[in-house]
Amino acid sequence: MKSLAAEAPEGGQVPELIAATEQSLPVQAGALARARAFAEPFITGETLDTGENTLEHADAVAQILKSMGGSEAMQAASYLVYASSHLTKPQEVIAKAFGENYATLALETTKLVKVQQQTREAEDAGNPVDDPKLQTENVRKMLLAFSRDLRVVMLRLASRLQTLRFHAARKTVAPPSVAREALHVFAPLANRLGIWQVKWEMEDLAFRFLEPDTYKQVARLLDQKRTEREGYVEQLRSRLEGELKAQGIDAHVHGRPKHIYSIVRKMRGKSLDFDQVFDVRALRVIVPDVKDCYAALAWVHDRFDAIDSEFDDYIARPKPNGYQSLHTVVRDGEGRPIEIQIRTQAMHDHAEHGVAAHWAYKEAGSKGYGGVSASGAYDAKIAVLRQLLAWERDLAGSGQGLFEDRIYVLTPDAAIVELPQGATPVDFAYTLHTSLGHRCRGARIDGVMVPLNTPLQNGQTVEITAAKEGGPSRDWLNADLGFLASHRAKAKVRAWFNEQIRHETVARGREAVEKLLQREGKTSVKLEDLASRLGFKSADDLFGVVGKDEFSLRNIETLLRPAEAPAAPEEFLLKKPRQPEKAHKGGVLVVGIDSLMTQLARCCKPAPPDAIGGFVTRGKGVSIHRADCSNFRELAARHAERVIAVEWGKARGEGAAVYPVDVSVEAADRQGLLRDISEVFAKEKMNVIGVQTQSVKGTAWMTFTVEVADSARLAKVLLVVAEVRGVRSARRR
């Protein structure tokens, strides 16, 4: 017995569905008899892989379609499907005898039959796909993708139901792959399309074959046979409807017994014992308006013993999806629980066709007990489909498909792969694995070699021929050649070429650094340690910026040539001045001493008009520091006797001295940042002689070494640098 929490009236939307599917099948006099006579010579003695006689199977499928409301034209198509595989040119022959629409239907259905057969054979051979749930959903999608007007789907549903009936009647066990496909693919599909009777029967039959012991156990727990249960529910329905009308409530009551698979599903999903499944017997009451809902509820509670904990008022407190109804569980005179739902016709229509549609309610994912998410673009399309079937009778004849932007193809192991429309074997290869895409060199479609830019079609089996190593062709990125349709595959090809460029840049940078180390006689230096000392995470990062000319080798030279340590006191002698002070050619005057060599300290890199001080070193004259240099202050504190007064000399014409100064910049990393900052220095006529960059978590840290004649002017330039987009701070070190 099915819960009426979200069920449709008897037959669901089958009449609308059948009418929609048949818009493209022209009515022909005697089409059913003609189709059977046409197919009989081909299929009379033939046996399907399920063990059924093909003609008998086609007869039964036609009857099932008839019971669902299908016309003779729809029934006739069931014979042509099986006859088409025996024809050399099936499209031409069937089109000539019955019309183009019949031919298309037969060939599309035959193609899908082969796809399903491949999938079952792979499973039976012990080659299941990596993700069975994903494979199941893809098979569902493929079923709909094959059918532009749902005729193929209807035929396949009827065919699978007949196969289950065949094994049940013969008391033989259906192949597990057939039963699983019925339970996990066809029954949910019938559910989504509103074909309730097919769904229920298919679920029970498939579950009976897959879990016979559980099936028999639940069957024994039901205290009556199914026919007796159905009779009881019908008796209760008739009584309730009559007595409500006698009370002046114009009610229509529907009832349906619960099916075994549905009982097991709810017991497992909600961890219930059989006695706790209250909706084994259920009724739905449809009334004209809201006040009648509460009047009917009051009457039901007055006549039956209500279970208070099982009452829900979704009219006063609708579900988040807008679902409204009164839910109650009562016990009859013998203590048997009965679930009763009461709603208006408008509420019922919303539950059936709105966001609380049956399939969404029963497959509510983690918040329900169906185990299949009902959210996402795919399910949204199904919801739209149900609306169209009810409102647009000409859907089938419009030529519009549900999944025109997607196609579904198979691997040689029958795994289904979803691709965008227009995808090629190269797209297919990249979808399976990035490495396979890079090495793709050839392809077979259904066993036939094809060019790599051949567009794939639904249901084709694709096999890739790959080289042992290698990469993609640049032609693949040429849109005019049509090798790639998938944005994901295009991105992978671009990434491969970008990586090749990076390798070349790193190799170029490595060569430059290694040559420098050879010139400096420092070949024993570890490259990783060198990179770390320069502020890089790895040697490759250092080689990359050197290879792109974004990092000066002079920075490495500076690191490899540390300043000399100060001389010991006894190792130098400072003579008293004998001549007037003179300017040193480097631009620094040493007060009271002539011709004493001076050098600018690398630690603080002073430049005019910085306040400066001198410190006498061993063998290299006087080291000139900025007065605020921490190193200078430390040296002066320890060796005050070596400190000497110095000052800047006057500039001498155009050849005035320039001084290297370090500038630190912190900025939000972006493409073109280094270029934009360098342009500022160029416009300000400041020569950049070294750059060191490092990017950490989106923040760029840069050190520029620039030559200046006046540090005061540098401060103004740094204000301009600070205005560059993304720069957070720019200061002298």
Average pLDDT over residues 93-106: 80
Output the pLDDT for position 165. 94
Output the pLDDT for position 1. 33
Radius of gyration of the CA atoms of the chain, in A: 42
- CA torsion through residues 585, 591, 595, 600, sign: negative
- Domain co-membership, 431 together with 305: no
- How many angstroms separate the CA atoms of 111 and 115, rounded? 6
Give me the helices (H) in 486-572, please. 487-519, 527-533, 539-547, 553-560
Q: By residue range, what is the domain housing residue 500?
A: 496-560
For residue 269, name the pLDDT band (cuts at 50, 70, 90). Answer: low
214-249: pLDDT as tens digits: 888 777 776 555 666 677 788 888 888 999 999 899
| 682 in a structural domain | yes
The domain that holds 102 is classified in CATH as: 1.10.3210.10
Identify the domain boundary among 438, 459, 485: 485
Task: Specify the range with the lowest mean pLDDT, choosing from 146-155, 410-419, 678-687.
Answer: 146-155
| 398 in a structural domain | no
- How many angstroms separate the CA atoms of 354 and 698, rounded? 46
- Domain co-membership, 22 together with 164: yes
- Domain co-membership, 514 together with 576: no
What percent of the chain has pLDDT above 70? 72
Average pLDDT over residues 619-624: 80
Task: Specify the range with the lowest mean pLDDT, choosing from 177-181, 204-208, 292-296, 446-450.
Answer: 177-181
Q: 512: Cβ–Cβ under 8 A, 6 or more apart, which residues? A: 546, 547, 553
| 458 in a structural domain | yes
The domain that holds 275 is classified in CATH as: 3.30.460.10
Please provide the average confidence, as pLDDT, over all residues in the chain.
76
- Domain co-membership, 190 together with 63: yes
Output the pLDDT for position 357. 39
- How many angstroms separate the CA atoms of 496 and 438, rounded? 8
Better-predicted residue by pLDDT, 502 or 231: 502
Identify the domain boundary among 353, 383, 414: 353
- Domain co-membership, 57 together with 140: yes
| 361 in a structural domain | no
pTM of the entire predicted model: 0.48
- Domain co-membership, 475 together with 611: no
DSSP lists the bridge partners of residue 589 as 583, 647
Identify the domain boundary among 654, 675, 710: 654
The count of structural domains within the chain is: 6
The distance of Cα 461 from the centroid of its chain, to the nearest Å, equals 24
Q: Is the pLDDT of residue 726 over 70?
A: yes
160-170: pLDDT as tens digits: 999 999 999 99
Checking DSSP bridges between strand 612-616 and strand 643-644, what pairing results, if any?
antiparallel
- Domain co-membership, 22 together with 144: yes
- Domain co-membership, 478 together with 450: yes
For residue 674, name the pLDDT band (cuts at 50, 70, 90). Answer: confident
Which 3 state secondary structure label does DSSP give 68?
coil
| 160 in a structural domain | yes
Length of the chain: 733
| 327 in a structural domain | yes
Output the pLDDT for position 356. 30
Residue with tokens 């309610």: 361
- Domain co-membership, 414 together with 454: yes
For residue 455, name the pLDDT band (cuts at 50, 70, 90). Answer: very high
Better-predicted residue by pLDDT, 391 or 562: 562
- How many angstroms separate the CA atoms of 174 and 156, rounded? 17
465-476: pLDDT as tens digits: 999 888 999 899
For residue 6, name the pLDDT band (cuts at 50, 70, 90). Answer: very low
Say which DSSP state 347 is in: H
For residue 140, name the pLDDT band (cuts at 50, 70, 90). Answer: low
CA-nearest of 386, 352, 354 to 4 is: 352
Q: Is the pLDDT of residue 371 over 50?
A: no
Residue with tokens 């008739």: 238
185-206: pLDDT as tens digits: 788 777 666 566 788 889 989 9
| 372 in a structural domain | no
| 145 in a structural domain | yes
For residue 255, name the pLDDT band (cuts at 50, 70, 90). Answer: confident
Q: Is the pLDDT of residue 108 over 70?
A: yes
First-to-last C-alpha distance (Å) of the chain? 82
Better-predicted residue by pLDDT, 139 or 712: 712
The domain that holds 437 is classified in CATH as: 3.10.20.30
- Domain co-membership, 44 together with 157: yes
Residue 381 · residue 402 · CB < 8 Å: yes
- CA torsion through residues 341, 343, 345, 346, sign: negative
- Domain co-membership, 74 together with 146: yes
- Domain co-membership, 443 together with 477: yes
The domain that holds 716 is classified in CATH as: 3.30.70.260
For residue 55, name the pLDDT band (cuts at 50, 70, 90). Answer: very high
Output the pLDDT for position 297. 94
Average pLDDT over residues 489-495: 92
